[in-house]
Structure 1
Amino acid sequence: MKKDIEIPVIEDVYVAAVREKHEEYQTLDWNAYLINDRAEAIEGVLIVTKGYDGKRETSTMRHSISKLPPQSFAKVEFLQDDVLQLNNEFSVSFFAESKMFHKKFVFKKNSINEKALQEIPVMQKKGVLLK
C-alpha cells in the first residue's frame, strides 16, 4: 500500500542557512529559511527540524506556515552555534497543485560555515543552500 502512494518531487523549494546581524544583540547569527522559488504559492507547510549525530540529539521542533507566496521566503528558526556541529534535518511537507509534496533537507555537521557561502535564490543574500 505504501508503494502505491505517489509523492511528487520537490523542485524550486529550498532550505538555506543565512548569517545575519541581530540588530538588538549586535551578534552574527545563523538563521534557517524556507525559500519558495516556484511560480505558485505553497500552502499548509509543515517543517519538522532536529539536530543529531551518533551520540547527541536535539529536541524536535515543529513549524508551520499557512501560505508562502511565489518567489518568497520565510524564516524557520535560529540555529545556535552548538547545533552547527550536528547534522541538521529539515523535513518539509506542503500542498501545491492539489498534491502533497515532501522532502528531507539535511545540513551535514559543520557544513554551515563561511567557506560554504553561495548566492541564495529569491533572497539576494549569501548563505548555505540545500536543494
Structure 2
Amino acid sequence: MKKDIHIPKVEGVYIAIVNEYNDVYQTQDWNAYIINDKDVDLDTVIIVTSGYSDSKTTSVFRKKIDKLPKKSYAKIELIQEELFALNNQFKVTFFEGNAMYDKTYTFRKNTINKNALQPVPLMKVRGVVVK
C-alpha cells in the first residue's frame, strides 16, 4: 500500500531567510519567506515551522496560504536571532493541480548569518536560501 503512494519531487519552491529593514519599528529584522519560482500557482500551501537542538525545542508555528501565485513569494514569519543557534525546520505541503507535494527545508544551526547571504530568487534581495 505504502509503495503505491507517489509524492512528486518538489522543484522551484524555496524558503529564504532575509534580513530587512522594518519601517514601523526602525529595526533590522530577519523574516522567513516562501518563494514560488514555478510557472504555475500553488494551492493550499501549509507551512509548519519549528526549531530544535539536542536540549531545546521551540513551539510549533503553522501558516496556511490559500494560493501562492506563480513567480511570487509570501512572508511566513519573523525569526528572532536567538533561534539561529537552533536547527530551524520548515515543513511545506501544497497542491499543484491534483498532485500533493511535500518537502522539509532545514536551516542548520548557525547557518543563518550575514556572511551566508546570497541572491534570493524573485525577490531582488540577499538572504539565506534552502532549495
Per the TM superposition, whether the score is higher than 0.5 is yes
Residue 3 of structure 1 deviates from its aligned partner by 2.5
3-state SS of 2:50 partner: strand
Percent identity over the alignment?
Answer: 49
3-state SS of 1:8 partner: coil
2:67 corresponds in structure 1 to 67
3-state SS of 2:39 partner: coil
TM-score where L is the length of structure 2: 0.98
Show CA shifts across 1:16-53 (max 9, x none). Answer: 00001111111111100000000000000000000000
Task: Indicate whether 1:14 and 2:11 are aligned.
Answer: no
- C-alpha distance in 1 between matches for 2:117 and 2:108: 15
TM-score where L is the length of structure 1: 0.98
1:51 corresponds in structure 2 to 51
Q: Which runs of 5+ in 1 are unaligned?
A: none
- C-alpha distance in 2 between matches for 1:58 and 1:4: 35
Root-mean-square deviation (Å): 0.7
After TM superposition, the structure 1 = structure 2 runs for residues 1-131 of structure 1, keeping only pairs within 5 Å, are 1-131=1-131
Residue 97 of structure 1 deviates from its aligned partner by 2.7
Q: Which runs of 4+ in 1 moved over 6 A?
A: none
Q: Which runs of 5+ in 2 are unaligned?
A: none
3-state SS of 2:115 partner: helix
- C-alpha distance in 1 between matches for 2:12 and 2:32: 17
3-state SS of 2:55 partner: coil
**Matched residue count:** 131
- C-alpha distance in 2 between matches for 1:56 and 1:123: 32
3-state SS of 1:46 partner: strand
- C-alpha distance in 2 between matches for 1:103 and 1:33: 15
- C-alpha distance in 2 between matches for 1:4 and 1:55: 37
- C-alpha distance in 2 between matches for 1:59 and 1:81: 16
